[in-house]
Amino acid sequence: MTARESALSRRTFVKGSLAGLALAGASGSALYGCAPQSQKDSANGAADAPADQIAWSQCNVNCGGNCVFQWHSRDGKIVYMESDNTGDDALQARACLRGRSMRRWINHPDRLTKPMKRVGKRGEGKFEEISWDEAIDTIASELKRVIDTYGNEAIYVNYATGMYSCTGKQPGLRLLGMLGGYVNQAYDYSTNMLSAAMPFMYGNDKEKGSVFGPYDALNASSFSEAERASDLVVMFGNSPAETRMGGANAVWDFARVREAVTKRGGRIVNIDYRLNESSSGHPDEWLPIRPGTDAALASAIAHEWVVNDQIDLEFLHTYCVGYDEETMPESAKGQNKSYRAYLMGEGYDMVEKTPEWAAPITQIPADTIRALADEIAAAEAPFIAQGWGPQRHTNGEDTCRAICMLPILIGKIGLPGTNTGQREACPSVSLVGGLPFENPVKTAIPVYQWVNAVDHGHEMTATNAGISGADKLSSDIKLIWNYAGNCLTNQHGDINYTHDVLTDENKCEFILVWDTVMTDSAKYADILLPDAMRSEQLNMQTQGYTEYYTAVVVGGPAQEPPGECRSSYDVCADIADKFGMKDAFTEGKTQEQWIQELYEAGAEADGDMPSWDEIREQGVYKRTLDPVIGLEAFRTDPAKNPLGTPSGKIEIYSEQLADIAATWELEDDEVINPIPVFTPGFQGYGSVTDEYPLYCAGFHHKSRTHSSFGFIEELEQVARQQLWMNPLDAEPRGIADGDTVAVKSPAGEIRIEAKVTPRIVPGTIGIPQGAWHNADMDGDRVDTGACVNTLTTYKPTPLAKGNGPAHSIIAQVTKA
C-alpha cells in the first residue's frame, strides 16, 4: 500500500467542521453503508429528513486501538456513530462494540456535570455542587499550601489512562511543571515487571541507539513479519482477540498471521491458563498452564534442547553473555552461575529442569513439553511472543526473560519471520506530539509504590523501594492529582488496604479527581471535577500502540459538553491565573490553536501528511508501515550495532542484576536473579493453603477497557462479569454454572456469578479485571461488584516494585 492511503477518503468524505458543522449533502450520506432509514429515505428523495452533521473523533480509552469514530449529530446532539469507512478496508480502524457504545457513555444520565466538593468522609461518595470559581480557588490554594509546606515532591500525578489525546492529561502536567513539578513515576501498570527486567537482557542505552520500550519496534518483530515469513507462532498469555479488538487493531493482523502461517503448514500454539478468545474456535493448539509457571515450562524446553543438542552454540557464544561458562563475565566465572548450570542442576537450586520436573509445576505433561520443544526447534522461523499477562505476576521479572530465552537458545532472533520473545511490535512513530510540559523534579517512584509513598514515603530509598533520580524521597505524598484514571482504588492493588490509607486525612491531605462519571476512585476526591469528553471538543490523537499502521485523527466537537463541563486546558489555564502564570501557560493560545500548531509541526516533520485544512476535512490520515524484525541490525552486525547492555550483547546473565541483588534491601521471600530462573513468587506456585486452596489470576475483559465502560449495562449483558472455574473445582464445592459464589483471598472478599467451564486449567480460577468495586466500606466490605482488586494483596515485586500481585492471588470459592 502506498503512503497516501487516505486519497480515497478525501474524495468520499462527508464534510464536518468545528463550529457550525457543515451539513452533509444527501449524496454524501448515501456513500455510507449503514445510514439509518430516515437518511436513506432522504437520499432517495422520499422524505425531507434533516441531514446529519458529521464530526470525526477517536476512541480515547487505553486499549491502544484508537479506533475512528464518525459522529452523526442532529440539532447539535449526537444520534449515532459510524466508524472508519475511509480508504482501503484492510486498514480501517473500525470500532469494537465498546467504542460503538461510546454514545451511551457521552449521553449517560450519570455524567458528572458540575464541580463538587466532598461533604462526607473520604471514600463515602457524598458531595455538594460548587461553582468553578470555588473549585479553582480551592485547588490553587491547596497546591500552594502543599508546595510551600512539603515541597514539590509531595505532589503525585496518579497513573491514569482513561484519556489518550494530545490534550486531556497534558494541561495538568504542564501546569504542575510550571509550579515546580511533581514526583515522577517509573514504569506503568501494563508492562511493569517486563519494563524493569527486560532492559537487563536486551539493553537500554540511548547513546548506543538501543533504547528499550515495551511497545517498540526495535526489540520485537511485527505481526506483519510473522504473516510474511513465519512457520510457527507460539504465544504465551497473548490474546489479541480480547486485548486488541478493533478494526485495524492487532486482532486483524493476527487473523492474517494465522491464515499465512497455516498456509505454510505451520501452527499457532497458545499457552494460557484459560482458552482465550484468540484461539477458541480455531484449530490452534491451546496448552493450559498453571498461571505464573511459564518460566518452568521455558526451562524444561531449554533443557530438552540442551540434551538433544538443539542449542545454537555459535549464536550464544557470539551474541550472548552467560549461557555457559565460556561466556560468563569475570565476576561470575567458575561458580556454576551460568544458565546452562541452572538447567542441568549444577548451580543455583541444583535441580535438573527436566520436563518431568516441570510437569507438576506447570500442569503440562512431560511428553507435551517434549513435543513442543521439538516443534519449536524444527521450525524454520518460529515467532515466539508473550502478552503482558505472564509478566503481571509476582515472579514476572523472571518469567518475561525466561520466555525470551527460547528464541535466544536456538538463535532464532533477528531473522525473517522470527521474534525476540517479546510481544509483537507496535509502531514507534507518533505523527503528532502533545501539549508540551516539563517536570523540573527528577525523582521517580516505581508506579505501584504510590500507596507506600502516601503511607511512609519519607522512609523510601533507592535500595529499599526502587526510588530513582534521588537516593530517597524528600516527602510523603500529600497531594494527589488524578485525571482520567480509576487507579486510586479500582485498578490498583488491594482496595481494602488502599481505602484505609486514603481515608486517613493526616496522610494524603488533598485529592483532586477529574472524571466523567462517579467511579470508585472519584469517591475519594476532595474536589471532583467534571470533564468535557473528547468528542465534545476539538480533539487530535495519533495512533494507538497496537496496530502496524500509523494514523492521526482530528475532529470534533460532535456536540456541546453537558452542564458545566469544561476542557481541562481551560480549567488549568484558570488555575495558572491564580499563580499569575496564565500567559506563560497558554502562550496566548487557545486549545484549538495548540492542536493546529501541534498538527502542523507533525505534518512538517513527516513531510507526507495532509495540510491542516485537509485533515479538518478528511478527519483521518493513515498509512501502513513495513514489517519489522526485532534486533535485526544487531543480528546482522553486532559489533556495529551493539545492544544497550554493558557488554553490548544479550545478557542472559546480568552482572547489573547480580549487583542489585547484592545491594538492595530485600525481604526473605524477595529474590532478584541474575539469570531468568523459575521462582514461584508471592502467592504463586506452592503457596496455596487449606484456607486458600485455589490459584486465581485475572485477565483483561472484552466488555470493558479496565473499568472504562464498566457502567454500560448493554455491554455487561454481552460479556458478563463471571468467575471462570473448571468443573473439577466446581463440582466438589456444589457449584453450578450461573450460581452466585463468594471468592475470598487473604485481602478481601467478592460476590460473583460462576461460569463453570473446561476452558480453564483445573486448580485455578480466573476473574476479568476492571469490574466496578461496590462494597460497604464501613460494613462488611464484601464487594458485590466483583472487582479483582478487592482480592489482590499489596506487595510490590522485588525488582520492579510492581503490580505483580494483579494476576498472582490465592483464594477459596464457596457457594454464596
In whole angstroms, what is the distance from residue 530 CA to residue 350 CA?
59
**In contact, 621 and 610? CB cutoff 8 Å:** yes
**Residue 789 site contact among Mo ion, ligand SF4, ligand MGD, none (CB < 5 to 8 Å, cut-off depends on kind):** ligand MGD
Is residue 773 within the footprint of ligand MGD (CB under 6 A)?
no
In whole angstroms, what is the distance from residue 221 CA to residue 418 CA?
7
Q: Which stretch binds ligand MGD (CB under 6 A): 2-10, 303-311, 356-364, 531-539?
A: 531-539
Is residue 190 within the footprint of ligand MGD (CB under 6 A)?
yes
In whole angstroms, what is the distance from residue 41 CA to residue 49 CA?
8
**In contact, 431 and 606? CB cutoff 8 Å:** yes
* Of 266 and 710, CB closest to ligand SF4: 710
Residue positions counted in the chain: 816
- State the nearest-atom distance from the C-beta of 251 to ligand MGD, in Å: 10
**Residue 59 site contact among ligand SF4, Mo ion, ligand MGD, none (CB < 5 to 8 Å, cut-off depends on kind):** ligand SF4
* Of 190 and 489, CB closest to Mo ion: 190
Binding flags for ligand MGD, 678-707, as an x/- string (CB under 6 A):
-------------------xxxxxx-xxxx
Q: Which stretch binds ligand MGD (CB under 6 A): 115-123, 230-238, 347-355, 454-462?
A: 230-238
- Neighbouring residues of 619: CB distance < 8 A, sequence distance ≥ 6: 9, 13, 16, 56, 68, 70, 86, 553, 554, 555
**Residue 67 site contact among ligand MGD, ligand SF4, Mo ion, none (CB < 5 to 8 Å, cut-off depends on kind):** ligand SF4
Q: Is the CA virtual torsion 214, 215, 218, 219 positive or negative? A: positive
CA angle 232, 303, 268 (to 5 degrees): 15
HEC-encoded secondary structure of 82-147:
ECCCCCCHHHCCCCCCCHHHHHHHHCCCCCCCCCEEECCCCCCCCEEECCHHHHHHHHHHHHHHHH
* Of 523 and 706, CB closest to ligand MGD: 706
Of these, 17, 53, 92, 190, which contacts Mo ion (CB under 5 A)? 190
Q: Which stretch binds ligand MGD (CB under 6 A): 30-38, 195-203, 284-292, 576-584?
A: 284-292
Summarize as ranges the residues that interact with ligand SF4 (CB under 6 A).
Answer: 59, 61, 63, 65-67, 95-96, 98-99, 245-246, 249, 705
Residue nearest to ligand SF4 (CB): 99
* Of 160 and 565, CB closest to Mo ion: 160
Is residue 253 within the footprint of ligand MGD (CB under 6 A)?
no
**In contact, 208 and 633? CB cutoff 8 Å:** no
* Of 65 and 411, CB closest to ligand SF4: 65
DSSP symbols for 730-759: HGGGT--TT-EEEEE-SS-EEEEEEEE-TT
**In contact, 397 and 798? CB cutoff 8 Å:** yes
Is residue 721 within the footprint of ligand MGD (CB under 6 A)?
no
**Residue 246 site contact among Mo ion, ligand SF4, ligand MGD, none (CB < 5 to 8 Å, cut-off depends on kind):** ligand SF4
Is residue 291 within the footprint of ligand MGD (CB under 6 A)?
yes
- State the nearest-atom distance from the C-beta of 62 to Mo ion, in Å: 6
The three cell numbers of residue 217 are 519496534
**Residue 361 site contact among ligand MGD, Mo ion, ligand SF4, none (CB < 5 to 8 Å, cut-off depends on kind):** none
Is residue 60 within the footprint of Mo ion (CB under 5 A)?
no
**Residue 271 site contact among ligand MGD, Mo ion, ligand SF4, none (CB < 5 to 8 Å, cut-off depends on kind):** ligand MGD
- Neighbouring residues of 335: CB distance < 8 A, sequence distance ≥ 6: 347
**Residue 276 site contact among ligand MGD, Mo ion, ligand SF4, none (CB < 5 to 8 Å, cut-off depends on kind):** ligand MGD
**In contact, 458 and 413? CB cutoff 8 Å:** no
Residue nearest to ligand MGD (CB): 162
In whole angstroms, what is the distance from residue 474 CA to residue 497 CA?
24
Q: Which residue has cell 495538568? A: 172
In whole angstroms, what is the distance from residue 134 CA to residue 143 CA?
14
First-to-last C-alpha distance (Å) of the chain = 56
Is residue 62 within the footprint of ligand MGD (CB under 6 A)?
yes
Q: Could you list the residues that contact Mo ion (CB under 5 A)?
A: 190
Name the site residues for ligand MGD (rule: CB under 6 A): 61-64, 160-163, 189-190, 236-239, 242-243, 245, 271-274, 276, 289, 291-292, 294, 387-390, 392-393, 483-487, 491, 514-517, 519, 531, 533-534, 697-702, 704-708, 769-770, 788-789, 792, 806-807
